[in-house]
């Protein structure tokens, strides 16, 4: 595992190496090298099983983090490659020529995050959603509760309770009352 | 070089030679709620496109706006026949990020729960496979037998389908008194039903003539398509996460990985039959070796305001259908930043089914679909 | 959509129906029969041959399998799963309905012959259940289809399903199962609700 990271480090610019477990390493690659990093791992280091492609939305940094998870069957090691891309007009190179499974993941990312993968077959077809009109639903700025309340007809009578208060009231009613009064007094005194 | 999975359609659709039909979602042969867009010439399939998304609930989005403990009720609903794998993986991911070590006895109980779930779903899969080729008898037997296992689950956890037995830090409670004897009785019954199924299904002329040689997956396709689990093992790839990268207590159990060689529907079904027997064997070993004393749960912080340290992890487990994985990112708050579920049949059902169904007849496509253990709710989540 | 003969063209009304309601003709209400005895006989007959459309729309369909097979054996009560909507009279919405499935549910429901009844399983058809905030599942089924009976639970056990069927039989016998007529009467309201969530009404082309 360590030798693999060293060899990879001499060839490409990788950073944020985090050996999470004995056989699991997270590392960050640059966007332009991604295809060659993956091809190198596949051809020379025997990481020839693509487990999944995922995406994390870092809206505060205005970035998407794409996550590629590769597995080596010989020593059961997982290498997880993170790539950061811009959140405006996100585009990424497609790796569907390397793994057939990749095209399904790329289609899903296109629909759920709006990341384009030019060259991936059927990438523009609807995958899961049908007739979707607003922003891609998995982005952080999409509010699913608001959308649901506006679109579907919520039945009245559903209320949300704070579980802490509810449990306290139910299980320790006297203590909850005392705690409430103490907090109230404390708040008034501190004013 | 052009990859093998590139499909170039040069069919002249206007020539009148082809018929396009849609099968599903309202179709009794389709596993779950999914549809196939099939292009036929005569009875032969020329092109097949899978359409999923009928069961999409947006779990990954819903989890982002729920606290960790509140994710539990929805996590098990990702896979209906085998929910325990999801529960285990979610708790394992949370424990991994929070650095919690669970007690020894909880590990054994978790493994027992996982094997029971595998037993139930694999037996139902055998019945579904027989039903897809017109053998209703095995379907009746297997679903009725699965109900016995569901009764055990009800006794253990209080629910038939969605158990929520595992929680971060261990399992919910001890099994009831006398549970192990009743489990042993069901295991004896399982062996008997497998013997019966063996006689009725695997020596049946109709089943054999339809299943042998259908949907052969060559060994070279396993890695490009990302195939895992029994489907890969039936093609001769000896890889089982329970053996090769053991989690829980699987390193203390003594078993051999089942491998097939043919890679067709018959081989896969036969391998699943052996998988059921392996589960029975593992359950017996677990009952024998399990420590009888000790706590089943560690103390965890206040679960309602539990802040998980920032970090990311990937945990995996062998479910009845293949590798199940959870990729979890935490940013140090009470809510998960992102949870990605790698469903076991995700690539089987989409890329592989589209490729394999070309050239077979329309009647066989559902048998093929069941044999790939397609499970729509985990594909679209 | 279907044009019979070479020269027949869809007239304006049919076009309007096609554009507005995606159908060739509006569903008609079935008037009750004048003779009370005959009506009672009809109700009795309908209550005793409830054939179920085998369309697993959600995760509740996993409990339908034990129901159909040896252990709970629903055929004792004269019910059986049917593969096609044309032959079935009871439509069980087994759990949450996503928007994409709702379109197929509506299409299957409209293909069913009268008399037809809808049973909705699970909390998620009542008020959204645990998917109340999901962007892809509907909250209340009765806004889109006339529901005759709800069976609550997540998911309902086979026993509660059987109890639900008993209740449904009582409702049919007493002549109160008017779901299909309600749908015909308030067709515009139902369609406008359905149009609000289903944005893409294109049906797949079956042949060309």
DSSP sequence for C82-143: ESSGGG-SEEEEES--BHHHHHHHHHHHHHSPSS-EEEEESHHHHT-GGGTT-SSB-S-GGG
For residues B45-65, average pLDDT? 85
**Helix residue spans in C143-186 (DSSP H):** 158-173, 179-185
Q: Which of C56, C65, C205 sits opposite B143 (nearest CB)?
A: C65
Instruction: Please indicate if any CB of chain C lies within 8 Å of the CB of A135.
Output: no
> What rounded mean pLDDT belongs to chain B?
85
Q: What is the DSSP letter of B352?
A: I
State the pLDDT confidence band at C2, using cuts at 50, 70 and 90: very low
d(C-alpha A104, C-alpha A121), whole Å: 9
CB C126 within 8 A of CB C89: no
Which residues lie closer than 8 Å to C102 by C-beta, 6 or more apart? C138, C144, C194, C197, C198
Q: Which residues contact B181 (CB under 8 A, 6 or more apart)?
A: none
A65-117 pLDDT tens trace: 889 988 888 888 888 888 888 888 888 888 888 888 888 888 888 888 888 88
* Of the candidates C162, C97, C167, C106, the residue with the CA atom closest to the CA atom of residue C136: C97
What are chain C's domains? 53-197 (3.40.50.12280)
Q: Does position C154 have pLDDT exceeding 50, yes or no?
A: yes
Q: Judge contact between A144 and B65, C-beta under 8 A.
A: yes
Q: Which residues of A touch C138 (CB under 8 A)?
A: 152
Chain A interface mutation, best of B303, B338, B342, highest count of A Cβ atoms under 10 Å: B338
Asked if B58's CB is within 8 angstroms of A127's CB, the reply is no
Contact C135 A148 (CB under 8 A): yes
3-class state of residue C19 by DSSP: helix
Selected for mutation to probe chain B from C100, C122, C124, C157 (highest B CB count within 10 Å) is: C100
DSSP codes of every residue in B84-116: HHHHHHHHHHHHHHHT----HHHHHHHHHHHHH
Which chains would you list as touching C if contact means 3+ CB atom pairs under 8 Å?
A, B
Mutation site, C51, C52, C58, interface B, largest B CB count within 10 A: C58
pLDDT of C3 above 50: no
Token reading at B160: 């038939």
Alpha-carbon distance of B323 to B335, in angstroms, equals 26
Quickly state the pLDDT bin for C1 (edges 50, 70, 90). Answer: very low
Architecture of domain B59-380: Orthogonal Bundle (1.10)
Give the per-residue pLDDT at C208. 44
How sure is the predictor about C130, in pLDDT bands with cuts at 50, 70 and 90?
confident
Instruction: Tell me how many degrees the CA angle B33-B34-B37 measures, rounded to the nearest 5.
Output: 150
With contact defined as beta carbons under 8 Å apart, do B35 and B23 qualify?
A: yes
Task: Please answer yes or no on whether A128 and B350 come within 8 Å at the CB atom.
Answer: no
Query: Between chains, do C197 and A148 touch, taking CB under 8 Å as contact?
Result: no
Distance from CA of B46 to the nearest CA of A (A): 18
pLDDT of residue A30: 85
Span C36-54, average pLDDT: 87
State how far the Cα of A53 lies from the Cα of A64, in Å rounded to an integer: 13
Give the integer Cα–Cα distance in Å for B95 and B99.
6
Structural domains of chain A ordered from first start: 2-133 (3.30.460.80)
Q: Which residues of B24-160 form beta strands (DSSP E)?
A: 35-41, 44-51
ipTM value: 0.84
Nearest residue on chain A to B239, alpha-carbon basis:
A73
Mean pLDDT of B17-39: 80
For the segment C176-208, what is each residue's pLDDT rounded down to a tens digit? 888 888 888 888 888 888 888 887 777 665 544
Torsion of CA C149, C155, C159, C165, to 10 degrees: 20
Interstrand relation of B19-23 and B35-41 (parallel, antiparallel or unpaired): antiparallel
B122: left (phi over 0), alpha (psi -120 to 50) or beta: alpha
Distance, CA of B89 to CA of A76 (rounded, Å): 18
CA distance B312 to chain C (A): 25
Q: What's residue B2's pLDDT?
A: 59
The pLDDT of residue B188 is 92
Q: Determine the average pLDDT of the residues in A139-149.
A: 85
Average per-residue pLDDT in chain A?
Answer: 84
| CB burial of residue B216 (10 Å; 0-12, 13-18, 19+) | middle
Chain C touched by A141 (CB under 8 Å): no
Which pair of tokens denotes residue B304?
């309602």
Please say if the pLDDT value at position B248 is more than 70: yes
Q: Is the distance from CB of B13 to CB of C197 less than 8 angstroms? A: no
What is the C-alpha separation between B31 and B139, in angstroms, rounded?
Answer: 14
Angle separating helix axes B136-157 and B104-132, nearest 10 degrees: 160
| Contact yes or no for C53/B124 (Cβ under 8 A) | no
The 10s digit of each residue's pLDDT in C96-106 is: 888 888 888 88
Contact list, A148 vs chain C (CB under 8 Å): 128, 132-135, 139
What's the pLDDT score for residue C9?
56
Average pLDDT over residues A22-38: 85
| Residue of C144, C109, C117, C140 whose CA lies nearest to C23 | C109
Is B226's CB within 8 Å of A138's CB? no
Contact residues on chain B for C58, CB-CB shorter than 8 A: 33, 55
Q: Which residues of C touch B62 (CB under 8 A)?
A: 131, 133-134
Q: Would you state the structure tokens that stand for residue C174, as one six-digit string?
A: 């007493």
* CA distance to partner chain B, nearest, from residue A148 (Å): 12
Per residue in C46-75, pLDDT (tens digit) is: 888 888 888 878 887 888 888 888 888 888
Residue B220 has pLDDT above 50, yes or no: yes
At CB < 8 A and 24+ separation, what contacts does A26-34 make?
Answer: A26/A80, A26/A82, A26/B312, A27/A79, A27/A80, A27/A81, A27/A82, A28/A81, A28/A82, A28/A83, A28/A84, A29/A81, A29/A82, A29/A83, A30/A83, A31/A83, A31/A84, A31/A85, A31/A92, A34/A68, A34/A81, A34/A83, A34/A92, A34/A93
Residues forming beta bridges with residue A81, ordered by sequence position: A27, A68
C160 touches chain B (CB under 8 A): no
Residue of B nearest to C82 (CA): B28
pLDDT of residue B373: 82
Q: What percent of chain C has pLDDT over 70?
A: 89
Q: Which tokens go with A109?
A: 């990312």
Q: Which of residues 44-63 of A touch C (CB under 8 A)?
A: none
Q: Decide: A118 and A144 in contact? Cβ < 8 Å.
A: no
Q: Name residues whose C-beta falls within 8 Å of residue A121's C-beta, 6 or more positions apart in sequence.
A: A96, A103, B6, B7
Q: Which one, of B344, B297, B354, lies nearest residue B172 by Cα? A: B297
CA angle B317, B52, B89 (to 5 degrees): 15
């Amino acid at each position: 595992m360590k030798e693999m990271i060293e060899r990879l480090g001499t060839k490409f610019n990788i950073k944020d190496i985090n050996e999470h477990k004995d056989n699991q390493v997270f590392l960050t690659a640059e966007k332009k090298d991604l295809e060659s990093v993956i091809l190198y791992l596949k051809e020379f280091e025997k990481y020839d099983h693509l487990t999944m492609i995922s995406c994390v939305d870092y809206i505060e940094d205005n970035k998407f983090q794409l996550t590629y998870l590769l597995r080596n069957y010989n020593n059961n090691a997982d290498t997880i490659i993170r790539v950061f891309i811009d959140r405006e007009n996100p585009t990424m190179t497609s790796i569907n020529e390397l793994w057939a499974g990749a095209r399904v993941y790329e289609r899903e990312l296109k629909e759920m995050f709006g990341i384009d993968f030019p060259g991936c077959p059927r990438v523009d077809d609807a995958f899961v959603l049908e007739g979707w009109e607003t922003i891609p639903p998995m982005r952080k700025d999409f509010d699913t509760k608001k959308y649901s309340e506006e679109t579907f007809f919520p039945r009245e009578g559903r209320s949300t309770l704070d579980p802490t208060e509810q449990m306290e009231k139910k299980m320790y009613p006297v203590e909850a009352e005392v705690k409430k009064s103490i907090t109230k007094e404390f708040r008034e005194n501190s004013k | 070089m052009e990859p093998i999975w590139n499909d170039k359609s040069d069919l002249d659709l206007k020539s009148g030679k082809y018929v396009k039909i849609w099968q599903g979602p309202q179709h009794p042969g389709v596993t779950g709620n999914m549809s196939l867009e099939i292009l036929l010439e005569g009875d032969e399939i020329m092109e097949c496109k899978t359409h999923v998304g009928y069961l999409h609930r947006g779990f990954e989005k819903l989890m982002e706006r729920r606290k960790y403990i509140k994710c539990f009720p929805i996590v098990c609903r990702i896979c209906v026949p085998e929910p325990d794998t999801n529960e285990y993986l979610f708790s394992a991911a949370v424990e991994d990020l929070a650095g919690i070590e669970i007690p020894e006895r909880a590990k054994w109980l978790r493994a027992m729960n996982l094997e029971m779930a595998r037993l139930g779903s694999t037996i139902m899969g055998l019945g579904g496979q027989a039903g897809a080729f017109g053998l209703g008898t095995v379907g009746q037997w297997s679903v009725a037998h699965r109900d016995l296992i569901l009764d055990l689950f009800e006794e253990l956890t209080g629910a038939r389908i969605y158990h929520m037995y595992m929680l971060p830090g261990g399992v919910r409670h001890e099994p009831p008194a006398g549970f192990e004897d009743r489990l042993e009785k069901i295991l004896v019954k399982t062996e008997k039903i497998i013997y019966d199924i063996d006689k009725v299904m695997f020596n049946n002329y109709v089943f054999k003539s339809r299943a042998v040689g259908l949907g052969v997956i060559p060994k070279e396709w396993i890695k490009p398509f990302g195939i895992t689990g029994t489907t890969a093992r039936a093609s001769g790839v000896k890889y089982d996460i329970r053996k090769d990268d053991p989690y829980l207590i699987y390193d203390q159990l003594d078993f051999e990985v089942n491998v097939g060689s043919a890679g067709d529907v018959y081989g896969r079904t036969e391998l699943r039959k052996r998988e059921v027997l392996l589960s029975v064997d593992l359950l017996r070993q677990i009952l024998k070796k399990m420590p009888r004393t000790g706590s089943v749960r560690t103390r965890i912080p206040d679960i309602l305001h539990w802040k998980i340290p920032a970090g990311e992890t990937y945990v995996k487990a062998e479910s009845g259908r293949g590798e199940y994985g959870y990729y979890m990112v935490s940013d140090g708050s009470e809510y998960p930043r992102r949870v990605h579920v790698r469903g076991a049949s995700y690539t089987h059902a989409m890329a592989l089914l589209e490729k394999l169904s070309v050239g077979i007849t329309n009647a066989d496509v559902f048998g093929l679909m069941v044999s790939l253990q397609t499970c729509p709710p985990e594909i679209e989540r | 959509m279907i044009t019979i003969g070479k020269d027949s063209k869809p007239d304006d009304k049919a076009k309007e129906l096609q554009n507005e309601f995606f159908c060739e003709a509006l569903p008609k209400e079935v008037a009750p029969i004048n003779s009370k005895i005959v009506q009672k006989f009809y109700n009795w007959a309908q209550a005793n041959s409830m054939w179920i459309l085998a369309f697993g729309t959600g995760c509740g369909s996993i409990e339908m399998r034990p129901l159909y097979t040896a252990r709970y054996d629903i055929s004792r009560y004269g019910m059986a799963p049917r593969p096609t909507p044309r032959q079935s009279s009871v439509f069980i919405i087994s759990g949450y309905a996503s928007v994409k499935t709702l379109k197929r549910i509506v299409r299957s429901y409209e293909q069913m012959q009268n008399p037809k009844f809808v049973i909705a399983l699970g909390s998620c058809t009542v008020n959204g259940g645990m998917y109340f905030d999901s962007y892809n599942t509907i909250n209340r089924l009765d806004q889109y289809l006339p529901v005759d009976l709800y069976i609550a639970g997540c998911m309902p056990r086979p026993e509660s399903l059987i109890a639900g069927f008993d209740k449904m039989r009582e409702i049919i016998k007493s002549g109160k199962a008017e779901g299909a007529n309600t749908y015909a009467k308030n067709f515009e309201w139902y369609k406008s609700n359905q149009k609000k969530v289903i944005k893409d009404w294109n049906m797949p082309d079956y042949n060309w």
